[in-house]
Amino acid sequence: MGVTYFAGAAYHALTASKDGPSLYDLCDPLFHKHTGGDAHIVKFYKTALGNPALRPLLCRAGLPELRDPARFKAVQQALTAARDEANPDWDAIGRPIAELLDTVTLSHPAPKPVAASAQAPTLGEIDDVIRACGAHLLRSFDRNGFIPTYAAFNLIGDPDMHGRDFLMALTGLNSRGYKNSTLLFTLARIFIARSPAGKLINPPWTGIAEPMWEPVQIRHRSAYYDAFFTEALLSFGDTGLPSPDQTTSSRRAIDAMVEFCLTTSREDVRAHDGTTVSVVTALAPPPHPRFSRLFAQIKQDLGFGIYVPDCDTTACSFSAATQAGSTDPILDQPLLDFYAGYQVGNGSNEPMVTVPLNDHIDYDGAIVTWIDNLAGERPYGNDLDPTLNLDVLEVSFRNLVRWKVMETPKRLETLQRIIGFQRRLVASGAFADPKSHIYYLPELYSAYFGRCYAAFRELPAATQQAIDTDGTFEFIRLRVLAYVQGELIAREMNSFDAALALIALGHLGGELAHFAPALRCIITATGEGGRKGPFKAYEWNKMKTPTRILVGGPEVTSAFVLMGLALARRRMMNGHAA
């Protein structure tokens, strides 16, 4: 989108006729000068919704339903209860807001079909982009002392969050601050989505992954990100393209990031059998996340003060460290024993999924997301994401011998039940539905399955057969390939979409001819990032609550483009199917 679009959208938002009470007519009397009750919800309102930057855009956004005094009063009474009651009834509080939320209609991107690209780029063009991406990552590490990632709020919310889903989140989340932020962000998104401000806050884009063009992006560091940057730099080295100095710099960065994952971000927790296990936290304590002082305070004010470990960050950190050749004793822990305590089985662990936003899928056999810390805190409740479970499989394959999985029936059973969950997901077609995924998109699930499949295929043939007795991996491979080749690359893509397509095609043995559209998209887009890097920032992962929070960055795009091009380059040099 160009300057003209944003100028026009801003003009319409600022000059629109007001059609009913606004967010501020509703909330200012309750929060603007109030003292007492729950101080956090008042501070959240002033910081996130009542701030001087947002107020001009929404002051003319009104809801005609709220002209009805009874409905206006019902919403105000709900907000007052959230503000004042010691133990609020969150279901009752959420219902009048849920009714309004169901009037909002949002849709997922639907890229237009495109003709197949006639010609793939040359190896020389591909090598140039790989070098540019590798240099970008190393330059960023040298400048910052780490490779940053960014978070940005999209206040219009997620298309899959309807009234029912909102109530699930409001009642299933544990932290009162997180409930407060979910309540108020959801209320605000109704006014945004139904006003001209929506076109300014949520402009259209090309492809599936959302560009991160919001004006406020929060730079930070997490072990989850360091794990994938480690894999990207390992991939860069495998191409043979880095200079000697870059090879040395890559090794230094990899060692530092593995140290950050396994030592700085390490946290001890209690397993379900009472033993102590070392895992990896989603966000290490200050100053390690590297927030600016301003955003560190805003994060606290918005109710994101407590972070707990998660199964995904732990799995990806262990995997990256294993690939980097780490011998840290933490890797000797058989994670499958720990994960078994977080595995849904025969209904026994079903209550662990307190925020079941994707309850249309069968959870049996899958691992939930969040790990209780030693204090027993779990501010986000718990949810379940299919892509996370691919990461658990992948790290288990890489550590199969170390963890004696084949010699331990319980560990093998845990592994096979996750595989069974994945088969049912793909057989139903739900893997291609964005609603099935809590933190990712179907295109990213496809790339991560490719990553998981590659680790599986590195095992001896007899071991593969013993683990996958009914050919599930081949079954999923064909379904995911069909989605990538028939849907993803057959439609308009952006550079991040194209990188994910290449990762899936490269690992899953896609025909070489199918690489051309994604390769051409990346070559054409090179330079789009301007001074920030070869490519723009796009959505890597997201959170649906308390509103749509995107995570990505120019360095993230460079990392995924590098990995995708490295796989394509290998295939082109080999000249035959994987």
Q: Is the previous residue joined to 546 through a cis bond, with omega within 30 degrees of 0?
A: yes
Indicate if the pLDDT at residue 49 is higher than 50: yes
Q: How many angstroms separate the CA atoms of 58 and 47, rounded? A: 15
Query: What are the tens digits of pLDDT across the range 389-405?
Result: 999 999 999 999 999 99
Q: Which of 30-44, 177-191, 251-265, 427-441 has the lowest mean pLDDT?
A: 30-44
Q: How many angstroms separate the CA atoms of 537 and 196, rounded? A: 25
- Hey, what domains does the chain have and what are their CATH numbers? 3-109+159-200 (no CATH), 123-154+202-574 (1.50.10.20)
Contact by Cβ (8 Å): 393, 472: no
Instruction: Give me the phi and psi of 491, to 5 degrees please.
Output: -125, 170
Query: Which amino acid is present at 285?
Result: P
Q: How many angstroms separate the CA atoms of 24 and 577, rounded? A: 60
Structure tokens belonging to residue 408:
């331990």
Q: Which of 41-45, 158-162, 220-224, 303-307 has the lowest mean pLDDT?
A: 303-307
The percentage of the chain sitting over the pLDDT mark of 70, rounded to a whole number, equals 95
Higher-confidence residue of 284 and 315: namely 315
Q: How many angstroms separate the CA atoms of 425 and 431, rounded? A: 6
Bridge partners of 151?
Answer: 218, 551
Query: Which amino acid is present at 265?
Result: S
C-alpha distances in Å from residue 565, one per residue of 285, 427, 480, 504: 35, 29, 19, 11
Q: How many angstroms separate the CA atoms of 164 and 170, rounded? A: 10
Query: What are the tens digits of pLDDT across the range 414-456?
Result: 999 999 999 999 999 999 999 999 999 999 999 999 999 999 9
Q: Which of 187-196, 300-309, 413-422 has the lowest mean pLDDT?
A: 300-309
Residue from 176, 215, 191 nearest 82 by CA: 176
Averaged pLDDT, 80-95:
97
Query: What are the tens digits of pLDDT across the range 494-514?
Result: 999 999 999 999 999 999 999
Indicate if the pLDDT at residue 98 is higher than 60: yes
Indicate if the pLDDT at residue 15 is higher than 90: no
Look at residue 570 and give its three-state secondary structure. Answer: helix
Provide the pLDDT for residue 288: 75
Higher-confidence residue of 120 and 268: namely 268
Residue from 373, 356, 355, 380 nearest 303 by CA: 380
Q: Model confidence at 347, in pLDDT bands (50, 70, 90)?
A: low
Bridge partners of 402?
Answer: none
Q: How many angstroms separate the CA atoms of 197 and 179, rounded? A: 25
Token pair 């809590």 is at which residue?
438
Contact by Cβ (8 Å): 129, 557: no
Indicate if the pLDDT at residue 304 is higher than 70: no
Provide the pLDDT for residue 577: 44
Q: How many angstroms separate the CA atoms of 561 and 129, rounded? A: 8
Provide the pLDDT for residue 53: 86
DSSP-assigned states of every residue in 400-426: TTTTTTTT-HHHHHHHHHHHHHHHHHH
| pTM for the model | 0.94
Mean pLDDT of the chain: 93
C-alpha 303: how far from chain center: 19
Residue from 546, 545, 501 nearest 520 by CA: 501
Q: How many angstroms separate the CA atoms of 42 and 30, rounded? A: 8
How do strand 149-154 and strand 548-552 relate by DSSP bridges? antiparallel
How do strand 539-543 and strand 276-280 relate by DSSP bridges? unpaired
Higher-confidence residue of 305 and 546: namely 546
Higher-confidence residue of 241 and 532: namely 241
Q: Model confidence at 11, in pLDDT bands (50, 70, 90)?
A: confident
Provide the pLDDT for residue 291: 67
Provide the pLDDT for residue 47: 87
DSSP-assigned states of every residue in 63-131: -GGGGSHHHHHHHHHHHHHHHH-SS--HHHHHHHHHHHHTT-------PPB-PPPS-PPPHHHHHHHHH
Token pair 């890097």 is at which residue?
533
Indicate if the pLDDT at residue 136 is higher than 60: yes
Query: What are the tens digits of pLDDT across the range 263-302?
Result: 999 999 999 889 999 999 988 787 777 766 656 666 565 5
Contact by Cβ (8 Å): 428, 361: yes
Look at residue 207 and give its three-state secondary structure. Answer: coil
